[in-house]
């Protein structure tokens, strides 16, 4: 199984950046490590999510955002992630949907790497 939008630069960069899937307990923590999750502010009765934290590897965060943009705009492959991203785009706007899809891509890529499946898509963009 290959992921649409993930190319020949993003896949090896991801593998190099995380240095092995066993370094993370869960796939969800990979997205937080790359800074693709929202910052949280909690004080007393106040509790809200802010912008993304932008912690971690800025290059990988940019590559994931670019892959998510390709998936939302140019990909002709029908997938659950593509449909979910398009629904999110209608509701939240393009940039916020692209960040959410980028986060989901990081989670899916880690899960695929952990199971031993290749995640490089060939000719995913039409």
pLDDT per residue as tens digits for the range 62-99: 899 999 999 899 888 888 888 999 999 999 999 999 99
pTM for the structure as a whole: 0.80
Buried b (16+ CB within 10 A) or exposed e, 65-100: bbbbbbbbeebebeeebbeebeebbeeeeeeebbbb
Q: Does position 124 have pLDDT exceeding 50, yes or no?
A: no
What the block records as the tokens of 70 is 């390709």
Quote the pLDDT of residue 120. Answer: 58
Looking at per-residue pLDDT, the higher value among 90 and 18 belongs to 90
**Contact (CB, 8 A) for 4 and 121:** yes
């Amino acid at each position: 199984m290959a992921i649409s939008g993930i190319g020949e630069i993003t896949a090896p960069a991801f593998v190099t950046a995380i240095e092995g899937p066993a370094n993370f307990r869960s796939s969800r923590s990979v997205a937080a490590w790359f800074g693709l999750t929202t910052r949280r502010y909690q004080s007393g009765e106040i509790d809200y999510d802010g912008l993304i934290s932008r912690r971690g590897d800025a290059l990988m965060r940019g590559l994931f955002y670019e892959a998510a943009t390709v998936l939302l705009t140019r990909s002709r492959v029908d997938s659950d992630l593509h449909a979910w991203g398009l629904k999110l785009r209608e509701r939240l706007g393009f940039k916020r949907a692209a960040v959410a899809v980028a986060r989901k891509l990081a989670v899916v890529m880690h899960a695929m790497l952990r199971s031993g499946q290749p995640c490089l898509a060939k000719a995913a963009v039409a």
